[in-house]
């Protein structure tokens, strides 16, 4: 079957996802329309196509242990000068994303991926474009806000045309967003923890997020 490039991410739902994708394209990021708006859990990773069934089974197990949690985006940040990326910040749900991505990449699983940078959940809105356009993205989205209940994540594959396409969704085992806050429980998904400190994402091989792999 050969090698394929996959990624795992939390989709930013509508209407927020399309709006941010259109804004990203408007800032001059030519790859925007091939990258669904997302928060990365596994950056672009090359795997043997024959391993996809095992990877899907692993992701289903991770999702079964999870539970819905609140996600909230607010304001902008940047990885410059380390990496040419401007992003919308994840201000609620960051610790839950961290919990998930660690289990997706667990060394006991089929995709024990090491990260180039410490994990920092975010939503990329500009990547590798002119500095003036990066500044514009940073400023125009500085007051951006969005929130939703996260109920699962998805596996994506990058096509030969560079476009990322969803292969399968993985809903969490529970269907209720828990009311408790600020507690990390062993073996279950944490909610409302402080934002971790650095980065990696699906913008391939940079400190960014599912795109340009």
What is the Cα Rg of the chain in Å?
Answer: 16
Give 106-159 pLDDT, tens digit per residue: 999 999 999 988 999 999 999 999 999 999 999 999 999 999 999 999 999 999
Compute the distance between CA of residue 114 and CA of residue 142 in angstroms, rounded to an integer. 31
pLDDT of residue 40: 98
Residues 6+ positions from 203 with CB-CB distance below 8 Å: 43, 85, 124, 127, 209, 210, 211, 212, 213
- Select the more confidently predicted residue: 172 or 174: 172
Compute the distance between CA of residue 93 and CA of residue 73 in angstroms, rounded to an integer. 9
Give 57-97 pLDDT, tens digit per residue: 999 999 999 999 999 999 999 999 999 999 999 999 999 99
According to DSSP, the residues that pair with 202 across neighbouring strands are 210
The Cβ-side half-sphere exposure at 85, using a 13 Å CA radius, reads 26
Domain boundary assignment for the chain: 3-171
**pLDDT over 80 (residue 47):** yes
Contact 39, 12 (CB under 8 A): yes
Lowest mean pLDDT among 22-31, 77-86, 198-207: 198-207
Residue 15 CB coordination number (10 Å): 9
Residue 5 per-residue DSSP state? E
Residue 76 per-residue DSSP state? E
Percent of the chain residues past pLDDT 90, beyond the cut = 80
pTM across the whole model: 0.83
Going by C-alpha positions, the residue among 11, 20, 33 that lies closest to residue 150 is: 11
Compute the distance between CA of residue 75 and CA of residue 73 in angstroms, rounded to an integer. 7
Compute the distance between CA of residue 94 and CA of residue 6 in angstroms, rounded to an integer. 22
pLDDT of residue 63: 97
In the CATH scheme, what architecture does the domain 3-171 have? Alpha-Beta Complex (3.90)
Compute the distance between CA of residue 175 and CA of residue 202 in angstroms, rounded to an integer. 27
**pLDDT over 60 (residue 169):** yes
Compute the distance between CA of residue 133 and CA of residue 86 in angstroms, rounded to an integer. 10
Give burial (CB, 10 Å; 0-12/13-18/19+) of 79: buried
């Amino acid at each position: 079957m050969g090698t394929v490039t996959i990624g795992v991410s939390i989709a930013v739902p509508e209407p927020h996802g399309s709006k941010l994708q259109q804004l990203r394209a408007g800032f001059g990021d030519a790859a925007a329309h091939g990258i669904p708006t997302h928060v990365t859990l596994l950056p672009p990773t090359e795997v043997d196509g024959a391993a996809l069934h095992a990877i899907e089974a692993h992701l289903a197990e991770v999702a079964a242990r999870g539970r819905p949690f609140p996600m909230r985006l607010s304001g902008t940040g940047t990885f410059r000068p380390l990496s040419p990326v401007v992003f919308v910040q994840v201000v609620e749900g960051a610790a839950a994303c961290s919990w998930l991505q660690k289990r997706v990449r667990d060394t006991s699983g089929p995709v024990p991926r090491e990260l180039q940078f410490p994990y920092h959940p975010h939503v990329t809105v500009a990547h590798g474009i002119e500095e003036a356009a990066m500044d514009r993205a940073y400023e125009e989205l500085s007051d951006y806000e969005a929130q939703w209940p996260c109920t699962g994540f998805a596996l994506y594959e990058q096509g030969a045309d560079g476009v990322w396409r969803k292969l399968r969704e993985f809903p969490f085992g529970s269907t209720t967003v828990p009311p408790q806050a600020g507690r990390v429980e062993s073996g279950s998904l944490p909610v409302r923890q402080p934002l971790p400190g650095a980065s990696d994402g699906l913008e391939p091989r940079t400190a960014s997020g599912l795109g340009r792999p």
